[in-house]
Amino acid sequence: MPWAKEEDFIELKKRFSSLEIEVKPTITNLHISKSELIELLKALKEEKGYKLFIDHSVVDFPDKSPRFQAFYILYNVDERKRIVVKTWTDGTLPSIEKLWFAGKWAERECYDMFGIIYEGHENLVRAFMWETYQYHPLRKDFPLEGYANDYLPSLNEVLWGDNLQGLMNYDKMHTPVPTLEDLEITEKKRLKKKAQLVLNWGPLHPGTHGTMWFLFDLEGERVVQCDVILGQLHRGVEKLAENEMYNQFLVYTDRMDYISALCSNQAWVVAVERLLGIEDLVPEKAKYIRTMMSELQRINSHLLWLGTYALDIGALTIFLYAFKEREKLMDIIEGITGARLTISYPRVGGVRMDLPEGALEVIKAFVKRFPKELKDWETILSRNRVWLRRNTGVGVVNREDVYFYGLTGAVARGSGIPYDIRKFEPYDAYPWVEFDIPVGENGDVYDRYLVRLEEMRQSLRIIEQCVSKLENMPKSAPFFAESPDPKKLKIPLDGIGLKVPEGEIYSSGENPRGELGFYIYSTGGVKPYRVKIRPGSMYNLCVYPKLMKDRVIADAVAVLASLDPVVGEIDR
């Protein structure tokens, strides 16, 4: 487990009087008072090497005083250790914007959801809701259904004498809906116009990967400033999580990063298993199946990335070739799990069903042919002079930026840092398979492209090893965990009655897009108290305004596609 030990912080205890170190089996916390918070974070970042910013958010305890507990998660890449810094506050916090830029976006989200005011923040605006929204949704006194104050009768139009009885009736009063004036106020507060014209790129545009709203301040064709307005796809997943049981929340994790649903499912299931402590009870067959499906999904996701990236740059046929291979992968996943996009196949304790007949032969046939297809596409793209000209030297991210902006996934690997959760904190069958991590040199868009192509080949290697292992396992090997003592710890297949003891954990998985992390705070019972989802795409996106400064608009597409964001994960 990559949690830091108490010995590392002995000398810090002498400098900071209110520092308390708490070491639990699933997490290591450093408790500090609010006045010494910035000093401690600076000391951790500069002297102890905890340079990578992972996450920051707040847990609400309405019957305690002070009310909010803020936490900051940091990571040391060289020594591979993680630490959580906690403090208590009543409603204000100092801003960590100067230490990590990614903290600026995390703080905007906390202000939006909890109403915490950050001192020293340069532009404290709401992250997901529109500016004139009055409430703070994630507080415990905000009801799950919201405040239905707006009158919207149009949802109940009656056609042909349709009798609106029973389950289908919508109420005439609705929760608040933004108007055009609200959106204009949001846009004005976000970006102060300095140059010739402000171009709205989005939120409905075929070039942005989803409903993201970019504002470009243009001088001719050159971008002077750039900012992003998020929240068009915000569905309140974290609020819903406080009302669902642990197994039922699995359904929401597919819909966040809908392109790589199996990897998100696996990350959640592994987090709950680690919190329960039943990682060793999960049978070997289930671990191999989960790993194999996750790698298939990784290839699937990278194929979609490649198709849309080439489409945006202009090579229109690669899109359809990539989707041909994606069809085959989705046929495989459909035959094994039953669904193509929102999958929910892993369960807490194993997988839902065993593999059907013929699955391994189909996967072997796919794996045999796929490298040839990859080679074909590389012939069209990789050494093409137009492609090289368009991609080299564009969107360069250097090593310090990776730590400052909290970048993970292929973006960090393209800049030379071999950050891969599958090697740093292995889960499932990853400790038992062999694979390499591709790492780039310059950190430009072309290197990220090469890194992702190489990742596809490494995924093929993992799948081959898993298939040969699964072929040799007997048919009757179990695919779901058996609890050693059903009275004390129940692990049901359908999830009813799964009780989790008190505790907290942060656990992450390697999504194709970055690091998807779950911070679960549990006070016992069947439903979690607070779930914070660390989206890889959101922190990868926060480097976009810096990369777009002084560039032409035509680069906007290339840079955005190389960061590979998915709005479902950013907005949750």
Within residues 140-169, the interface with another protein by CB under 8 A covers 159-160, 162-164, 166-168
The β-bridge relationship of strands 81-89 and 92-94 is: unpaired
Q: Taking the CB of residue 7, how many other CB atoms lie within 10 A of it? A: 7
The least CB distance from residue 209 to another protein, in Å, is: 10
Are 350 and 479 spatial neighbours (Cβ–Cβ below 8 Å)? yes
The least CB distance from residue 144 to another protein, in Å, is: 12
Are 85 and 41 spatial neighbours (Cβ–Cβ below 8 Å)? yes
Q: Out of 385, 475, 487, 488, which residue is the one contacting another protein (CB under 8 A)? A: 385
Q: Which residue, 31 or 352, is less far from another protein as judged by CB? A: 352
Binding-site string for another protein from residue 22 to residue 61, where x marks contact by CB under 8 A and - marks none: ----------------------------------------
Q: Residue type at 81?
A: K
Stretch that binds another protein, among 40-48, 58-66, 337-345, 562-570 (CB under 8 A): 337-345
Scanning residues 470 to 509, which ones bind another protein (CB under 8 A)?
493-496
Binding-site string for another protein from residue 245 to residue 284, where x marks contact by CB under 8 A and - marks none: --xxxxxx--------------------------------
The least CB distance from residue 570 to another protein, in Å, is: 19
Taking Cα atoms as reference points, which of 282, 288, 280 lies closest to residue 472? 288
Buried b (16+ CB within 10 A) or exposed e, 369-400: ebeeebeebeeebeeeeebeebbeebbebeee
Q: Which residue, 168 or 177, is less far from another protein as judged by CB? A: 168
The least CB distance from residue 319 to another protein, in Å, is: 8
Stretch that binds another protein, among 94-102, 230-238, 294-302, 329-337 (CB under 8 A): 329-337
The least CB distance from residue 385 to another protein, in Å, is: 6
Q: Which residue, 87 or 247, is less far from another protein as judged by CB? A: 247
Could you tell me which residues come within 8 angstroms of residue 128 by beta carbon, excluding any fewer than 6 positions away?
A: 109, 112, 113, 230, 231, 234, 571
The least CB distance from residue 442 to another protein, in Å, is: 9
Based on the shown chain and the rule CB under 8 A, indicate whether residue 365 belongs to the binding site for another protein.
Answer: yes
For residues 290 and 347, what is the distance between their CA atoms, to the nearest angstrom?
Answer: 10
- For residue 151, the surrounding DSSP H or E stretch is strand 150-151
Stretch that binds another protein, among 133-141, 316-324, 463-471, 527-535 (CB under 8 A): 316-324
Scanning residues 104 to 143, which ones bind another protein (CB under 8 A)?
none
Q: Out of 92, 342, 398, 468, which residue is the one contacting another protein (CB under 8 A)? A: 342
Scanning residues 506 to 565, which ones bind another protein (CB under 8 A)?
552-557
Q: Out of 149, 175, 179, 384, which residue is the one contacting another protein (CB under 8 A)? A: 384
The least CB distance from residue 294 to another protein, in Å, is: 18
The least CB distance from residue 356 to another protein, in Å, is: 5
Taking each helix axis from N to C terminus, what angle separates 284-313 and 261-276, rounded to the nearest 10 degrees?
A: 140
CB-based burial of residue 115 (10 Å sphere; 0-12 exposed, 13-18 middle, 19+ buried)? Answer: middle
Q: Out of 321, 404, 506, 518, which residue is the one contacting another protein (CB under 8 A)? A: 321
Q: Out of 87, 297, 337, 507, which residue is the one contacting another protein (CB under 8 A)? A: 337
Q: Residue type at 324?
A: K
Coil, strand or helix: which one is 137?
coil
Token pair 């250097």 is found at 398
Q: Which residue, 103 or 440, is less far from another protein as judged by CB? A: 440
For CA atoms 302, 308, 312, 313, give the dihedral sign: positive
For CA atoms 364, 365, 366, 368, give the dihedral sign: positive
For residues 73 and 29, what is the distance between their CA atoms, to the nearest angstrom?
Answer: 9
Q: Which residue, 57 or 408, is less far from another protein as judged by CB? A: 408
- For the chain, the first-to-last Cα distance in angstroms comes to 28
CA distances from 339 to 11, 250, 261, 332 (A): 54, 15, 11, 10
Q: Which residue, 18 or 384, is less far from another protein as judged by CB? A: 384
Q: Taking the CB of residue 339, how many other CB atoms lie within 10 A of it? A: 13
Q: Residue type at 27?
A: I
Q: Out of 331, 400, 471, 502, which residue is the one contacting another protein (CB under 8 A)? A: 331
Q: Taking the CB of residue 492, how many other CB atoms lie within 10 A of it? A: 15
The least CB distance from residue 535 to another protein, in Å, is: 21
Scanning residues 434 to 463, which ones bind another protein (CB under 8 A)?
436-441, 446-447, 450-451, 454
Q: Which residue, 259 or 557, is less far from another protein as judged by CB? A: 557
Stretch that binds another protein, among 31-39, 385-393, 470-478, 483-491 (CB under 8 A): 385-393
- For residue 369, the surrounding DSSP H or E stretch is helix 359-381
Q: Out of 78, 358, 472, 476, which residue is the one contacting another protein (CB under 8 A)? A: 358
For residues 341 and 330, what is the distance between their CA atoms, to the nearest angstrom?
Answer: 8
Scanning residues 176 to 205, which ones bind another protein (CB under 8 A)?
197, 199, 205
Stretch that binds another protein, among 113-121, 274-282, 331-339, 513-521 (CB under 8 A): 331-339
Are 190 and 198 spatial neighbours (Cβ–Cβ below 8 Å)? no
Q: Which residue, 57 or 247, is less far from another protein as judged by CB? A: 247
Scanning residues 283 to 312, which ones bind another protein (CB under 8 A)?
310-312
- Written in H, E and C, the secondary structure of 391-430 is HCCCCCCCHHHHHHHCCCCHHHHHCCCCCCHHHHCCCCCH
The least CB distance from residue 164 to another protein, in Å, is: 8
**Six token digits for residue 7:** 């010995």
